[in-house]
Amino acid sequence: MTSKTPQKKAPGVSAIDLFCGVGGMTHGLYKAGINVVAGIDLDSTCKYAYEKNNAAKFIEADIRTIKPSELAKLYPKGDLKLLAGCAPCQPFSGYRGKVPKSDKWDLLYSFADLVVALQPDLVTMENVPGLLRFKGPKIFDHFCGKLRENGFTVWYDTVFCPDYGIPQTRTRLVLLASKLGEIKLIEPTREEGEYKTVRETIAHLPAISDGEAHKKDPLHRASKLSPLNKKRIKATPAAGGWKDWKDELVLKCHTKKSGKSYSSVYGRMKWNAPAPTMTTLCTGIGNGRFGHPKQDRAISLREAALFQTFPKSYKFIDPNAKFSKNTISRHIGNAVPVTLGKVIAKSIKEHLASHYDR
């Protein structure tokens, strides 16, 4: 049951973004009208892009040790408080049943502790669906349990990003929780057949070679390929992969039974379909189907950023730091697509509209 607060205008919403990275989630929330006051992350290399593109403060800190009182004072008086957080998903990605050796999967306990200490009005969390299948401690149940004990109504589901216009077959677990009552994600904006494609997203960019950076767009740069990898990509047809190569090009590991299942590595993207999920290593052809559909190279940092729905104007390169392609690739691959942040913000706004007078 939803309860409407009669005759009351919805207050503004201010957010703190835990695990903010370079701000994919923050930027989406902000673009859809949520005032993000701060992002917290222990990776100092994220600060430049986070602050350059968002009117929010970057706080370099560990979620496990930050004092809730330090965060509490950041929320402006009178606004509803949103606590957002996308903890690292690597411990649950491609999860095959064993509890991974990582100290990162327990970060959700720290997130839950902060919810209890801060008592926000709204919470959102994004992670990989593997979190639902995690065979270790029932960490997701614990998270939802803590929310319910503290008066939240909880909604979560697996979201297929192309359904919301994101040109990437990323599938994510999205959670929304509110103390006001029922909340859910807005309805999908696209159906199969209408999905945004690789062509629509990157075909307009100028051609570059492997190892080249475009003169006018330093983010449009592609990894240098070894002579052997150059032969491999040349031998890969549109939408094809290593299974199309002559034997002498095939890696030994792919000839083994266990290697046969990695059919997408060294593959080229399909023009008329969404891209695969961007990862921290998405600018290397050996790490997935990250070959350009036509040009003989992996996708560029710019292309990865566009698949993650960052606007062209988003600044990633800190002019005062030594340029590192790997660092920026990690920033982009780690991000929540900006559009998913917008979809979450719109869902929160619809939820508020159903509880307050517009």
Ligand X SMILES: C[S@@+](CC[C@H](N)C(=O)[O-])C[C@H]1O[C@@H](n2cnc3c(N)ncnc32)[C@H](O)[C@@H]1O
Among 14, 24, 71, 314, binds ligand X (CB under 6 A): 24
19 binds ligand X (CB under 6 A): yes
Among 13, 38, 71, 86, binds ligand X (CB under 6 A): 86
Instruction: Give the range of 81-89, 116-124, 229-237, 344-352 binding ligand X by CB under 6 A.
Output: 81-89
The answer to whether residue 89 is catalytic is yes
Catalytic residue among 20, 46, 86, 89: 89
82 binds ligand X (CB under 6 A): no
Among 14, 23, 146, 168, binds ligand X (CB under 6 A): 23
* Segment 172 to 191, residues that bind ligand X, using CB under 6 A: none
Among 38, 63, 112, 125, binds ligand X (CB under 6 A): 63
Instruction: Give the range of 62-70, 144-152, 205-213, 281-289 binding ligand X by CB under 6 A.
Output: 62-70
Among 41, 121, 163, 303, binds ligand X (CB under 6 A): 41
333 binds ligand X (CB under 6 A): no
122 binds ligand X (CB under 6 A): no
Among 13, 21, 178, 282, binds ligand X (CB under 6 A): 21
Q: Could you give the string, one character per residue 308-327, with x where binding to ligand X holds by CB under 6 A and - elsewhere?
A: --------------------
- 3-class SS letters over the chain: CCCCCCCCECCCEEEEEECCCCCHHHHHHHHCCCEEEEEEECCHHHHHHHHHHCCCEEEECCCCCCCHHHHHCCCCCCCEEEEEECCCCHHHCCCCCCCCCCCCCCHHHHHHHHHHHHCCCEEEEEECHHHHHCCCCCHHHHHHHHHHHCCCEEEEEEEEHHHHCCCECCEEEEEEEECCCCCCCCCCCCCCCCCCCHHHHHCCCCCCCCCCECCCCCCCECCCCCHHHHHHHHCCCCCCCHHHCCHHHCCHHHHCHHHHHCCCCCCECCCCCCECCCCCCCCCHHHCCCECCCCCCECCHHHHHHHCCCCCCCCCCCCCCCCCHHHHHHHHHHCCCHHHHHHHHHHHHHHHHCCCEC
* Segment 89 to 108, residues that bind ligand X, using CB under 6 A: 89, 107
112 binds ligand X (CB under 6 A): no
Q: Which residues bind ligand X (CB under 6 A)?
A: 19-25, 40-43, 46, 62-64, 86, 88-89, 107, 334-336
Report the catalytic residues: 89
